[in-house]
Each structure stands twice: as structure tokens, then as C-alpha cells.
Structure 1
Amino acid sequence: MTTPAGGDDPPAGPERREPGQASSDALRRPARAARLVATGLGHSMDLRRWRVLGTVYLRHGSRRVREAFVPVLTASLAAALAYFVSGEILGHQVPMFAPIAAWVCLGFSPDRQLRRVAEMGVGVALGVGLGELLVHLVGVGPVQVGLVLAISALTARFLDRGQLLTTQAGVQSVVIIALPTSMVAEGAIGRWSDALVGAALALLVAAFLPGDVKRRPRRLAQSALDELAVMLGTLTKALRTGDPQLAADALAQGRGSQSVLDAWAVAQRSAAELVRVNPALRADRRVIAELSRAATLADRAMRNARVVSRRAIVAMEEDGASPDIADHVAAIASALHSLAGALEHGDPPEHARTTLRRVAGELAPEAYAHEGWRKQTLVSLLRSLAVDGLQMTGMSSEQANEQLPEG
């Protein structure tokens, strides 16, 4: 057949490729998948990824403000009470170290571990005491600042291994050296006793006013699992449409949500310490232990979900959409959302367990053998995610693995 003159297009038919074009496309696909994985991991950023991470950041910022409100309020009241005790009861004219010690020890975090509060309190008192002693022995000046800092820090390291104690001892001793003597009239004992008052009140607040020790871990459990469910929801859309960009968005969401999981782990350690030392909270030990186990499993589930997202990017670049696998991911996301509500309110996670058992029973990699090894890999990874979810509902590792089809 001859081509018409004038450079007209050839007749319609299968797309004609230049020699080597097919192999060039095959090379470009892995490179594009690698770039999308990199953006999802945060190694390179674009406007789309900034928008995704910005949404996650705003959501987490609002949560941090809500969580810090009560701790800041209690720390402020403790600081005011410390100022009152030192000023009105002890009769100190400028009891500035009392509220400083109370605030430094309590701070704005709801995770007030007793050891941490005690370290801060001892560090403040030690720094103020050593600073006052050296002021009276050697006076003030640049050399004295270096001397008192070295002595305070080394003394703190001898007394305890805690970093907070050493840091606060050094800081407070330098403050004492640098503080004009005209600002206080009580002398060394006055400022040292002010620091003790603030530290003691902070320790009492941390030990005996914890409120509902289960509330914060439960709220963080709900937030963490909802974040995981949102991530899997985005991944579901990606798998249904075959859009690897959405899978990269899911990966970015997963990375941006790690701070919630970390906060949950810290809250669990704080709650475990409180129920161990406070006899009134003995009844909460079992619940705290269960939430601690769930926190560890949720962190593992998030890591598994990020691996699924990375593999999904490559799979969609090569094989396109996977609506059937998307249905499995959507079911796991729904189960995790239900589990989040159950953990928050202390309800039995029966709905989540039933859904996850059903999904786990459908995750047979050999059923996808005709669709290629990439989809089989996704199904295999989802098996691990389903097992993590089942264990969070209270199943043992053996019981959860029994729900998977053999093969």
C-alpha cells in the first residue's frame, strides 16, 4: 500500500512503534514508579505531595492543641499554686523559681511519666542549690559560669543516668549565676526552697491527678487506626482506578501519620507507669496492657501498609488497575475504622474481627497466579496486614494465622 501524497496519516490500525520504542517504554515505567515511591517517602516533593502532607499536618496540629489544653491548664494552676505557697506561706518576696520549677517539670505534655517529672524536679533543685553555693564561694563571672555548669552536670551524672536531670541541673545553675542578686532578697536557701516547692507540687500533680489513665491511650488508638484506615482508603481508590499517583499519596499519608503512632506508644508507657505506682489505678492495668499490645501491632500494621503502597505503585505502573484487590483493601480499611471506635470506647471489636476474618479467608495468592506475580505479591502483603488487624482484635498470632487460606 502506498501512502497518499502530502504527508497524510497512514490508515487507522494498530499503533506503529519505531524500533526500540517498546523497550524504551519498559525502561521508563520502572523509573517513573521509582520517582513516585520517592515522593511518597518524602525524598522528593511536589505540589501534590505538599497538599497531602499539609492536610495531615493540620489534622495532627488540631489534635495536639486539643490534647495539650488540659495539661497546660493543670501545669498553669500548679505554677500559680507554687508561687502562692512560696510567696504567701513561706513569705518569699520574689518566689520566681517555684512556678518555673512547676512548669518545667509538668510542661504541656499529657504523658507525664513520674520518672521524667522526678528527674526534672531533682535537676532544678540541684542546679539552683549548686549555683547558690558557688555564687557565695567564688562569686560571678564568665569563669564561674563554666565552673558551675561543669560541676552541676557532673554531679547530676553521678546521681542518676537521666538526661533530663543533667540538662536541668546545668541550666538552672547557670541561671542562678547570671541572675542579678538584686532581684531576690531571700538568699540561697530561699531560691532553693522555691525550686523544691515547685518540683514537689509537680510530682504530686503527676502522681495523684492523672485523671482517667485510659482516656488518652484510647483516643490515640482511635486516631492512629483512623489514620491507617484513611491511608488504606486512598490506596483503595488508587487500585480501583489504576492511578499510581494516588498510591503515592497513600504512602505519603502513611509516613505523615507516624507521629500519631509514636505518641500512642509514649502515652502507653506513661499510663503503664502510673498504674504500676498508683494503687487506685490497679483495676486499669489489664486495659492498659491490652492497649499497649494494640499499639505495637498498629505500628507494625502501618509499616506493612506502607510496604503495600510501595508495591502497588510498581504493580499499577506495569499491570494497571486491580479492582478485586481494591475490594480487599477497602474491607480491611472498614474493619480498622470499626476497630478504632471499639478501642476508643472500650467496646468488643466483634464487627472488626468478623470483617477481618472474612477478608483473611479470601487472601489466597495462588488465586491470582493468572494475573502475574506483582498482584500475587500484593495479596501476600495484605495477608500480613489482615493478621495484624486480627491480633489487634484480641486474637493470638496462631489464631490469626489460622484464618488465612493455605498456600
Structure 2
Amino acid sequence: MSTAYAVPVPRRRSVRLRARVRQGVSRVRGSAVAILQAGVAAGGSYAIARYGLDHPYPFFAPVSAWIALGFSQTRQLRKVAELAIGVAIGVALGDLLAHLIGAGWWQIGLALVLAASVGRFLDRGGMLATQSGVQAIVVVGLPASVASGGAFGRWTDALVGGAVAVAVAALTPGDPRRLPRRAARAALLELVATLGQLVRGLRAGSVDEVEDALLRGRASQPAFDEWRAVALGARDMARVSPRWLRHRDELTALQTASALGDRALRNARVIARRCGPLCQGPHRVEGLALVLEELGSATEALAEAFGAGAGLDAPRRTLEAIAVRMDPFVLAPDDWQVQSVVLLLRSLVVDLLEVAGADPAVARALLPEI
């Protein structure tokens, strides 16, 4: 096994832990407003059922509100209403069966069959049927002492929670571009950090720093996975939501860019793996390190442009200026090992140009002939 891969386990875990913490904080920030809105809806629906309807244990009011709203900022009103109806159906059927035939193992099975069947009959989507079945199981399985507000009090509580959730979704329409933009910025900044660590390792001649850059690149994969998932979800919602239809082109571009960004990260990891041996010997890596540093700065500008929803022309021009200088025989004269890394770096530059909206053929044409 080469030295470049012999990474001590404690350091590997430390790098991954730091990456998880960064990405976790980023996810919480991105969903903070949506979670706060859901919390207000849950508390408000409980208060309405408890003090407005005089139900002593309005358990299903906040449950319905939370299930219907969730923590996504790309809430589609139809989906929120669908979830709220699913919860109400499940609770109603569960309440009815619990009063008619009691609770037990076969009653739970029957409640699930009936609630899921009604959900499938009413809507072709799977979410309504799933929530109907889950809530029917919960209602039948809970002891009768948890009943609230009479024979169908729990159903009434579920209606209250669903109504509050629909009201919140209708009165606080979110911008579907916000979450994909934030995810794009967070993912690209992870790539910037990987490139920065790689530059420091090359300039210091430190195999450990280069290995840490590789580990950081690997640990950055979840950020790019989230970017792809969020962008795809927002684009799909824009196809069916009249409110978001005008944003369809940008959301499609964000979804395409997420796939290209993932490819750029993978290329960056390949480059990091190949840079380890360059720290062990008399290799002239300053030209390579300088280009990587400039590429990191351009990627940072690209990340900020995505995050702000600004135009990508400025970072694309910067990347184009880097592309025309990617001649391995100029950046690394008389050193075939460094030249081989520059050749790999050319692919990364093209990837980032495509992320910035450049045509693939045009991006490749900018590279010097070799």
C-alpha cells in the first residue's frame, strides 16, 4: 500500500467528523425557518384544540400539523393538503373501528387495510395512503384513556392540525429556488475547501495535508448528494405547481448543475490521490499549486453566485481565463508526473465551466492543444 493511502484512522475519523458537523449545521440553517413555522403550527393547533374545543389531550392536532408541513421550505400546497387529509382519514377510520370493535392485533391489521385502501382510492400518490394507514394504526393501538373530546375528538384534532398546516403553507409561500441555491453554495464551498487544503499540502510538501484533502473530498459527497436531491425535488414540484412554473428554467439549470458539480468533486478526488507522490521528491509543483489556488477562488465566486441567485458570467469568465492556461508543458516543464496531474486538472476546469453554464464543446475548445 502506498504512503498516500496509509491514512491513520484517528485522522480520517476527525476529518469526516468535522465534515459531518459542517454539513449538519448547513442543513439546520437551511431548514430553520421551515422548522420554526412547523413548530408554531403545532403549538397553535394544540392550543386551538385544547382551549378552543376544550379537548383535554389533543395529541393528534400537533401531530397532523407536523406531518403535513415537515421541514422542507419547498412546500407545495397540494402536498400539504394531501398529507393533512391522509392523517384525518386514518384517524377517523381508526377512531371508528376502535369504538366499534375495540383494539387488538387483528383490529390494527384491519384498520391498516381499510385506511390504506381508502387512501389509494382517493389519490394515486402513495403519501396519502401511507399516512392514512400509519394514523389508523396509532389510533387503534393507543389506549382509550388518550381519547380526547368525545367519540371522534381525535379526528377533530387531526382536522384542526391539518387546517392549520394548510393555512401556514398558503400564507407563507416559499421560494422554491432558495433551498437549491443554498445547497449549491454549501456543496461548492466544500469543493473550495478541498482544493485549498490540496494547495497547502503541495506548497508545504506535506503528504499528510494532501491526504487530508482527499479525505475532505470524500467527506464532502453528502453535500453534493443533498444538492442533487433538493434540486430534483424543487424542479419536479415546479412542473405541477402553477405558482412555481415561472421558475422552472432556473430550477432545471440548478438540477443540471448539481450533476455536473458532483462530477467535478469526483475529479477533484482523483487529482488529490495523484498529488500525494508529488510531495515526495524534487517535483516543481508551484505552477500546479497556483492554478489550483486560482481555481479554488473561481469556484468560491461561483458558489456565492449560486447562493445569491446572481448571474454566473463573472465566475465563468474567470474559469475561461484559467482554462486557456492549462498547458501541461508550460505549467510543468520537464516533469511528466506533474504534467499528468495537469491533464487531470483540465477535466476539472471543464466540469466547473459547465457548472457555470458553459457549453461543453466551447469549454473543451478553450483548453490549449497538446
Counterpart of 2:369 in structure 1: which amino acid?
A: E
Counterpart of 1:394 in structure 2: which amino acid?
A: G
Query: What is the CA-CA distance between 1:326 and the residue it aligns to?
Result: 1.5
Q: 1:393 to 1:128 in 2, by over 3 A?
A: same
Counterpart of 1:323 in structure 2: which amino acid?
A: E
Q: Could you list the per-position Cα deviations for residues 53-89 of structure 1 after superposition, in whole angstroms to 9, with x for gaps in the alignment? A: 3332332233233223211211122223333554566
Query: What is the CA-CA distance between 1:335 and the residue it aligns to?
Result: 0.4
Larger mean Cα displacement after TM superposition, 125-134 or 334-343: 125-134
Matches of 1:147 and 1:272, distance apart in 2: 38
Query: What is the CA-CA distance between 1:249 and the residue it aligns to?
Result: 0.8
Q: Could you list the per-position Cα deviations for residues 344-369 of structure 1 after superposition, in whole angstroms to 9, with x for gaps in the alignment? A: 22333344223211221122345558
Matches of 2:225 and 2:136, distance apart in 1: 33
Matches of 2:163 and 2:268, distance apart in 1: 45
Q: Could you list the per-position Cα deviations for residues 256-285 of structure 1 after superposition, in whole angstroms to 9, with x for gaps in the alignment? A: 222222332333234334544554444433
**For 2:196, which of 230, 233, 254 is the aligned residue?**
233
SS at match of 1:177: helix
Larger mean Cα displacement after TM superposition, 102-111 or 150-159: 150-159
Counterpart position of 1:371:
335
Q: 1:102 to 1:351 in 2, by over 3 A?
A: same
Counterpart position of 1:387:
350
Counterpart of 2:289 in structure 1: which amino acid?
A: A
Counterpart of 1:131 in structure 2: which amino acid?
A: G
Q: State yes or no: 1:35 paired with 2:6.
A: yes
Query: What is the CA-CA distance between 1:195 and the residue it aligns to?
Result: 2.0
**For 1:343, which of 272, 288, 306 is the aligned residue?**
306
Q: With structure 1 as the length reference, what TM-score do the two structures score?
A: 0.78
Matches of 1:273 and 1:170, distance apart in 2: 26
Q: 1:134 to 1:285 in 2, by over 3 A?
A: same
**For 2:291, which of 307, 313, 328 is the aligned residue?**
328
Counterpart contact for 2:62–2:161, Cα < 8 Å = yes
The percentage of counterpart residues that share the same residue type is 42
CA RMSD of aligned residues (A): 3.1
Counterpart position of 2:28:
65
Query: What is the CA-CA distance between 1:187 and the residue it aligns to?
Result: 4.4
Q: 1:150 to 1:258 in 2, by over 3 A?
A: same
Which has more radius of gyration?
1
Counterpart contact for 2:239–2:245, Cα < 8 Å = yes
Matches of 1:356 and 1:133, distance apart in 2: 65
Counterpart of 2:68 in structure 1: which amino acid?
A: C
In structure 2, stretches of 5+ residues that fail to align are none
Query: What is the CA-CA distance between 1:232 and the residue it aligns to?
Result: 0.4
After superposition, residues 25-174 of structure 1 pair within 5 angstroms as: 30-36=1-7, 46-87=9-50, 92=55, 94-112=57-75, 117=80, 120-149=83-112, 151-152=114-115, 164-165=127-128, 167-174=130-137
Counterpart of 1:64 in structure 2: which amino acid?
A: R
Matches of 1:371 and 1:185, distance apart in 2: 79
Counterpart contact for 1:145–1:177, Cα < 8 Å = yes
Counterpart contact for 2:74–2:175, Cα < 8 Å = no
Q: 1:103 to 1:304 in 2, by over 3 A?
A: same
SS at match of 2:71: coil
Q: 1:380 to 1:118 in 2, by over 3 A?
A: farther
Q: Could you list the per-position Cα deviations for residues 140-176 of structure 1 after superposition, in whole angstroms to 9, with x for gaps in the alignment? A: 1234334434554566567667665455334322221
Counterpart contact for 1:113–1:270, Cα < 8 Å = no
Q: 1:402 to 1:395 in 2, by over 3 A?
A: same
Q: With structure 2 as the length reference, what TM-score do the two structures score?
A: 0.85
